[in-house]
Amino acid sequence: MNDILLLKLGEIVLKGLNRKGFEQKLMGNIRRRLVPIGKFKVTCMQSTVYVEALEEGVDLDAAFEAVQKIFGVVKISRAAACEKDKDAIARLAIDYLRQDMLRAKSFKVESKRSDKSFPMTSIQLSQYVGGELAEAYPNCKVDVHEPELIVNLEIRDLAAYVHAQPVNGAGGMPVGSNGVAVTLLSGGIDSPVSTYMIAKRGVRLIPVHFFSFPYTSQQAKEKVIELAKLLTAWCGKMTLEVVPFTHIQEEIRDKCPEEYFTLIMRRFMMRIAERIALSNGARAIVTGENLGQVASQTMEAMASTQAVLKLPVLQPLIGMDKEEIVQMSRRIGTFDTSILPYEDCCTVFTPRHPRTRPTVAEVEKAESTLDVDALVAEALQGIERVTLDLEET
């Protein structure tokens, strides 16, 4: 019999009537995530998802790693299976939990029976297997109040399962259970983290990147594609929209006062992002903005960029310290790519003395020399789409 994975569902169990829909979404996400790894059976019972390999030689470690990045799962454990017989279960527990039992000072056994025809009650089974474990590992004492290690037994339809401490899952809600948003993805440290955070709340994301070739290089674009690809481990399959931004930036440079360059540029980003959102059923725009981090991230500057929008802007990093963002970016696996030294369109034509406390009227006046609608339409026309999916492992 094969090892299986047990995944405990998170917040979705609180959702009452919606629960079924949430579970379905999550199971779909798990199944898709496992496709590159092998054939698995994925079933759900009582807020636990069971993942079972359907063929020999499937890499369950790879599956374990993959499901750690699926939002909506709070705990994951790997369990070994045996026949539904108390001595077989005790033998398996002694064998399978050897490392845990040698390390821990105290333990207790907890049993669950979904097969009610099993001849012992849960308590009897726990006592029996607990006794056998205590005998096999005399240095690890039974402690039912504050055990260091909890040994879990489950009697299910086809087999009995043994597992120890679960590891934490990704938490959050299943991607796709909470609508769609556009996320502005630069090549920096911040925006991959903001994308991750909104995906964690169950939102499916459409990444948008503004590209100013030749002011920004082909490598800068490749870097953003790589970041989006890394994010698919958390966000699922995504289509990156690469928007040509060169003409807009040149127009701004040639026709607007320098101190407003960045603000006007950001207003264009927002307008274009909103158009992409509306044509894809997305309901918000996500950015990696962080209060006070740069001149365009004061409250006044953000008011002037958001004034062109009807959709809400979600800024999950707004109150974080840079160090916290960096830590998170390391943890989610985007940091090393983010720090590759290619420039972003925000760093070309940067004003020497940017306005930090603009009024909306002032910025509107500064951009009044531009044909905004025509420039937006032209950029939308030139979008290049790159679809990113998980790779075979």
Minimum CB distance to Mg ion smaller for 188 or for 202: 188
Interface size with Mg ion, residues (CB under 5 A): 4
Instruction: By CB under 6 A, tell whether 344 contacts ligand ATP.
Output: yes
Query: Which residue, 74 or 208, has its beta carbon nearer to ligand ATP?
Result: 208
**x/- map, 309-338, ligand ATP, by CB under 6 A:** ------------------------------
Interface with ligand ATP includes 274 (CB under 6 A)?
no
| Tokens 């086809």, located at residue | 158
> Nearer Cβ to ligand ATP, position 344 or 367?
344
Which two structure tokens, joined as six digits, stand for 38?
A: 């092998």
CA distance 129 to 91: 9
The answer to whether 251 touches 288, Cβ cutoff 8 Å, is no
The smaller minimum CB distance to ligand ATP, of residues 131 and 312, is found at: 312
Q: Taking CB under 6 A as the criterion, which residues in 195-214 touch ligand ATP?
A: 208-210
- 294 near ligand ATP (CB under 6 A): yes
Position 190 contacts ligand ATP (CB under 6 A) = yes
Q: And the tokens for 207?
A: 């990444």
Select 156 or 267, whichever has its Cβ closest to ligand ATP. 267
Tokens representing residue 387 in the block: 């679809």
Sign, Cα dihedral of 129, 131, 137, 141? positive
Name which position in 296, 305, 306, 334 contacts ligand ATP (CB under 6 A): 296
Stretch that binds Mg ion, among 170-178, 183-191, 202-210, 374-382 (CB under 5 A): 183-191
CA distance 133 to 139: 10
Q: Is 293 in the site for ligand ATP (CB under 6 A)?
A: yes
DSSP one-letter string for 250-308: HHHHHHS-GGGHHHHHHHHHHHHHHHHHHHTT---EE----TTSSGGGSHHHHHHHHTT
What is the C-alpha separation between 248 and 151, in angstroms, rounded?
Answer: 62
Residue 304 interacts with ligand ATP (CB under 6 A): yes or no: no
- Bond preceding residue 214 cis, omega within 30 of 0: yes
Q: How many CB atoms lie within 10 A of CB 14?
A: 10
Instruction: Give me the residue label for tokens 């910025």.
Output: 363
* Binding-site partner at residue 37 among ligand ATP, Mg ion, none, CB < 5 to 8 Å by type: none
Record the tokens describing residue 377, joined without a space. 């339409």
Considering the complex, state which of residue 130 and residue 358 has its C-beta at the smaller distance from ligand ATP: 358
Q: Is 289 in the site for Mg ion (CB under 5 A)?
A: no
User: Binder to ligand ATP among 132, 154, 241, 289 (CB under 6 A)?
Assistant: 289
**CB of 92 or CB of 302, closer to ligand ATP:** 302
Q: Would strands 48-53 and 40-45 be described as parallel, antiparallel, or unpaired?
A: antiparallel
Closest CB to ligand ATP among residues 60, 286: 286
Binding residues for ligand ATP, rule CB under 6 A, total 19
86, 344, 355, 375: which one contacts Mg ion (CB under 5 A)? 344
Is 316 a binding residue for Mg ion by CB under 5 A? The answer is: no
Give yes or no for residue 130 binding ligand ATP (CB under 6 A).
Answer: no
Q: Considering beta carbons, is residue 241 or 344 the nearer one to Mg ion? A: 344
Q: What is the dihedral of CA 287, 11, 332, 68, to 10 degrees?
A: -150
What is the rounded distance in angstroms from the CA atom of residue 286 to the CA atom of residue 290? 12
Integer CA distances (angstroms), 172 to 73, 86, 178, 327, in order: 7, 37, 11, 19
Tell me which stretch binds ligand ATP (CB under 6 A): 41-49, 63-71, 73-81, 293-301: 293-301
Q: From the CB of 208, what's the least distance to ligand ATP, in Å? A: 6
How remote is the C-alpha of 105 from its chain's centroid? Answer: 36
| Residue 188 touching Mg ion (CB under 5 A) | yes
The binder of 181, among ligand ATP, Mg ion, none, by C-beta within 5 to 8 A per type, is none
Say whether 140 sits in a helix, a strand or coil: coil
Q: Which residue is nearest to ligand ATP (CB)?
A: 188
**Burial per residue of 342-381, b for 16 or more beta-carbon CB atoms within 10 angstroms, e otherwise:** eebbbebbeeeebbeebebebbeebbeebebeebbeebbe
Residue linked to tokens 């870097």: 223
Where on the chain is the footprint of ligand ATP (CB under 6 A)? 184-186, 188-191, 208-210, 287-289, 293-294, 296, 344-346
Where on the chain is the footprint of Mg ion (CB under 5 A)? 186, 188, 344, 346
